[in-house]
Amino acid sequence: MKSSVRDIRERTFEFALRIIKLCDELNRKPGVCRDLSRQLLKAGTSVGANTEEAQAAQSKPDFISKNSIALKEARESHYWLRLLIAGEIMPEKKLAGLRDEAEEIKRILGSIVVSAKRSQQTL
């Protein structure tokens, strides 16, 4: 399981870097782009921050809590990316990979949370 933990930490870090670059580009545009950029930046970088914090959890419930927060932030990031596409603010072709990565991160974090909850119940 350690390698999957390392993988999700690296993936969420890389995801955050991609979000930062996208938000930098959005901030150069006028109007609503800046507001959406702020929301996406907060959510997208929080995924990795909470995943990282989970690795130093003080207890199993703390680990579950931090990963659950990361999952919520991944869901929010996915939402903002979908909104940018649906609102035709950014072309789908440009954001499809990032949107798909947000979806995959949601699945991985969801699995981590479910597994941790199961193992906590068996203790």
Q: What CA–CA distance (Å, rounded) separates 42 from 16?
A: 10
Q: Does domain 2-121 have CATH number 1.20.1440.60?
A: yes
Instruction: Summarize pLDDT for 49-66 with one digit per residue, the tens.
Output: 999 999 999 999 999 999
- Here the tokens at position 78 are 């996915």
Q: Which residue ranges make up each domain of the chain?
A: 2-121
Instruction: Summarize pLDDT for 63-98 with one digit per residue, the tens.
Output: 999 999 999 999 999 999 999 999 999 999 999 999
Predicted TM-score (pTM) of the model is 0.90
- Here the tokens at position 5 are 């933990």
